[in-house]
Amino acid sequence: MSNTIIDTNFNFPNQKSVYKGKVREVYALEDDVLVMIATDRLSAFDVVMPKGIPYKGQILNQIATKMMAATEDIVPNWLSATPDPNVAVGAACEPFMVEMVIRGYMSGHAAREYKAGRRMLCGVPMPDGMQENDKFPEPIITPATKAEQGDHDEDISKEDILKRGIVSAEDYEVLEKYTKALFQRGKEIAAERGLILVDTKYEFGKTKEGKIVLIDEIHTPDSSRYFYTDGYQERQDRGEAQKQLSKEFVRQWLISNNFQGLEGQTVPHMSDEYIETVSERYIELYENITGETFIKADISNIQERIENNVLEYLK
């Protein structure tokens, strides 16, 4: 799979530094400009898989761009331009070192905790008598600390965040308010597409003027879980698994191949055929989430394409 972008090593004009996350690479330029490149890397259980997924970076970047445009009336964001299908440019921010995870349903990590007998998640109680994928009475916010690459994000309660001074009480109130507003809007957008936004995470930063803004991705299949509305209740009543639109299908494949990112486990081999099916699933996710046909960018030389487009924009 040579037509993927796994790693970048650009040197843009006025470049100061580069930060490489699990999936995105962020180039900091002078004048507080950030160039964020969405690679085709695939991360699951906080581990980056050895092979890239064709078009994945383009898909994540374009969904995030559309969703930021669809929510900028309720929450300000960092974005100013998308000069390339894989690239977002915006204002440099000081990121908050927590991810604001919000859950409308008892799924994924919450369900795994619930099955293990725990009824508290990040200091928030989960009612007794629930079955996997049931709707919570009210959405719950279950923050996670932002881990460095190779480390695992960890659940943390609001009380601990405030006690440890990770976020001030005043700022946390804003993060909470924005998280609820974004989730509400995300649910409305999903409902129009015949989808349920099950859970998601938001990341925020502060501009040098002290304004809190939304950063990174939003409502993508990597940061969110979606169910199909059609048949949801019937599947719940029969105790069946829900039809999902998210990265969960990759996690389930890894679990079935004895990998959950735990010590001593090795990432199972992903054949080119399997990689192709993952790429197709991501395209399906894009089309379902946005309601638009996915247009594949030219991937004959992605690095060159990105470099030319960014340099043209920076002129």
Q: What is the band of 248 on the pLDDT scale with cuts at 50, 70, 90?
A: confident
- Give pLDDT, residue 64: 96
Instruction: Tell me the pLDDT tens digit for each residue of 169-216.
Output: 999 999 999 999 999 999 999 999 999 999 999 999 999 999 999 998
Full-model pTM: 0.90
Q: What is the band of 1 on the pLDDT scale with cuts at 50, 70, 90?
A: very low
Of 291 and 243, more confident:
291
Q: What is the band of 147 on the pLDDT scale with cuts at 50, 70, 90?
A: low
Distances 175 to 86, 98, 138, 207, 216 between C-alpha atoms, Å: 27, 10, 18, 14, 15
Task: Say which range, 67-71, 99-103, 165-169, 270-274, has the weakest mean pLDDT.
Answer: 270-274
d(CA 212, CA 198): 25
Average of pLDDT values for 152-173?
A: 94
Task: Say which range, 32-36, 260-264, 301-305, has the weakest mean pLDDT.
Answer: 260-264
- Give pLDDT, residue 151: 60
Instruction: Tell me the pLDDT tens digit for each residue of 78-116.
Output: 999 999 999 999 999 999 999 999 999 999 999 999 999
Beta carbons of 253 and 217 less than 8 angstroms apart: no
Distances 122 to 8, 91, 97, 155, 295 between C-alpha atoms, Å: 36, 31, 16, 6, 40
d(CA 149, CA 103): 24
d(CA 229, CA 238): 15
The neighbouring-strand residues paired with 144 are: 99, 155
